Amino acid sequence: MTKRALITGVAGQDGRFLSELLLGKGYEVWGIVGPYPGTFLEWAQDFEKLHPIDADLADMDSLLAAVETSRPDEVYNFAAISSVGESWDSAVLAAEVNGVGVVRLMEALRLMAPAAHMFQASSAEMFGDATEVPQRETTPHLPLSPYAIAKSYAHNIVASYRRSFGMHASSGILYNHESSMRGLQFVTRKITDGAVRIKLGLADELRLGNLDARRDWGYAGDYVEAMWLMLQQEQPGDYVIASGEAHSIREFCAAAFSHLGLDYEAHVVVDPAFFRPVDPHVQCGDASRAREVLGWRRTMTFCELVESMVDADLARLEGQPSQ
């Protein structure tokens, strides 16, 4: 029997990768598009079994209708205010969507599809100023931003529904995962796009914030594979999904510019306007449980990831007129 999946936030990076993965496995996929579809609707036309639908995590009736329409075996929740920086400017909205919106989704599933296997996209930002490095599933939450606080609330709500109602609800504690589909509001794409623009004579400098913040970066295609594996398990649970390596934003700049034959120090300008009010200094995850239980492995190294993103931006921007 054909499996049916419902994906919220399907138009984003993870939604696109997961849609391709599930469609390749023969699933019928319903995707809640959200307010910023980008090129998703045109892309979706190429897939007979991919069905865009309208719903909103702030609207309970729309979620009930989406669950009724899709009748899902599996549900993947990506819908969120996805930028930590943006959450400082939209703190109430981040709480409403990233936090309370997950309660609405869990309620819709409890009422309409209690047997569905559900995945929640949790975030390493929940650990904030972590008490240990690397961080594990058991590391205490010390969230620093509105985004992280809302994600921590949602993570605990999902665990509560799992315990209270016996729902198959799992959370992936996701560390930064990137690709050429990452939005330009994220620092990684800002770096690769900016480096290519400088290489092509479309820009002279790239202005960034804290270059010494350290993050654990992986490839988005690998991370959606882990999400799918979680929902194939007999028992639900929480899993850190990470590379296990911490690299600074400075290192990311060096790798991106070096791939283009450039020295980042000649072009990157540190601008205090891009500093966050507070920022976790080191994020690094221990994905031992995912490797042992799910059999998950990453396929792309840090340098391979950076270079693939630079190459994609170079292909996209070549041929544009110079300044």
Distance of CA 108 to the CA centre of its chain: 23
Question: How far is residue 24's CA from residue 4's CA, in Å, rounded to a whole number?
Answer: 13
- Distance in angstroms between the alpha carbons of the first and the last residue of the chain: 56
Exposed (0-12), middle (13-18) or buried (19+): which is 263, by Cβ within 10 Å? Answer: exposed
CB burial of residue 140 (10 Å; 0-12, 13-18, 19+): exposed
Structure tokens at 38: 């980008």
**Contact present, 149 and 97 (Cβ < 8 Å):** no
Residue of 125, 178, 251, 307 with catalytic role: 125
CA dist list (Å): 151 to 246, 279, 280 = 22, 16, 15
CB 114 within 8 A of CB 165: yes
Record the tokens describing residue 167, joined without a space. Answer: 């729902």
Reply yes or no on whether 161 is catalytic.
Answer: no
Phi, psi of 297, deg, nearest 5? -140, 145
**Set 123, 170, 171, 179: catalytic member:** 123
* Cα gap 291→301, rounded to integer Å: 16
Q: Is 153 a catalytic residue?
A: no
Is 123 among the catalytic positions? yes
Catalytic residue among 27, 28, 76, 147: 147
Residue 24, strand partner residues: none
Residue 248 parent element (H or E): strand 247-248
Question: CA 135 from chain center: how many Å?
Answer: 18
- Taking the CA of residue 19 as centre, how many other CA atoms within 13 Å lie in the half-sphere pointing to its CB? 28
DSSP code at position 58:
T
Q: Any idea which residues carry the catalytic annotation? A: 123, 125, 147
